[in-house]
Chain A
């Protein structure tokens, strides 16, 4: 079973079970968006948010009342890891994976085509996104497109916030360097 769903010793600041829907409702659009960034297709994304809600409800007593979005995104990340283990059970017994090689546990990253198809951005943006590595694309999507804070993106990806920051800054730097040669970017710009 899940790591965070067992303890129901209520923290004094955790929301009441009966108000779970009111507590979680405002976060559903962001959860679904982020799930879309992690999952590749909308069916899997909705499934992942369902898993997340069930786990969050079970673990509600452990929530300390601060940063609900980061809390929910951490649960989503764990739920997503579990889904990938179920799909590829061999991984569970892979010594390297158990040793905690973070990169191998990361969900499949969306391709630039997935992002472009999902969001239909301006052509010059699509072109610049298409030149990013999958990891750079992922942080740009979570922070600059989906609107997460650095800490929330870190929770969703299971990496330190400092890593989110450095990846994001490098990604934007590359996009800007590329866009400097793009007449559309320049003409809208100066």
Chain B
């Protein structure tokens, strides 16, 4: 095996590059990277199965959490909206 091929194998198994990308995956998925850094992470996630699967896990986790949001009951919101309207109209003396 040539040194180059060996290096390639180490990379595939998860080398320094994977560790570096691993630190950025969550920020990447949250949209917190600048375009150049995001492009680097994105191409690694397509090329590296292990990091790609890690990103899939976080995507799945985030979307499951987002779906966890409970429906908001209407009455408290209506009461709060009414309070805001009273304040705007100057009807509520401030304590």
Contacts and interface: CB of A to CB of B under 8 A. Distances in A.
Interface of A: 17-22, 24-25, 28-29, 31-33, 42, 45-46, 49-50, 53-54, 57-58, 118-122, 125, 140, 144-147, 150, 165, 168-169, 172-173, 175-176, 179-180, 185, 188-189
Contact of A54 (B57, B64, B95): B95
Contacts of A147: 66, 69
Contact of B84 (A33, A42, A53, A169): A53
Nearest to A24: B84
Interface string B62-95: 1011111110110011011101110111101011
A185 B79 CA distance: 40
Given A46-B76, A169-B27, 18 more contacts: A20-B84, A20-B87, A21-B84, A24-B84, A28-B80, A32-B72, A49-B80, A50-B83, A53-B83, A54-B83, A125-B64, A145-B68, A168-B26, A172-B58, A175-B61, A176-B58, A179-B57, A185-B60
A4 B68 CA distance: 34
Nearest to B57: A176
Contacts of B56: 189
Nearest to A121: B68
Nearest to B22: A173
Contacts of A121: 64-65, 67-68
21 contacts: A18-B88, A19-B88, A21-B87, A25-B81, A28-B80, A28-B81, A32-B76, A50-B83, A54-B83, A54-B92, A57-B84, A58-B94, A120-B68, A140-B65, A144-B66, A169-B27, A172-B26, A172-B62, A180-B57, A185-B60, A189-B57
Contacts of A25: 81, 84
B88 A20 contact: yes
A57 B87 contact: yes
Interface in B3-30: 26-27, 30
A40 to B, nearest CB: 15
Contacts of A146: 69
B65 A169 contact: no
B94 A29 contact: no
A175 to B, nearest CB: 6
B72 A145 contact: no
A46 B90 CA distance: 21
Contacts of B83: 50, 53-54
B95 A122 contact: no
A6 B26 CA distance: 41
A120 B61 contact: no
Nearest to A175: B61
Nearest to A1: B95
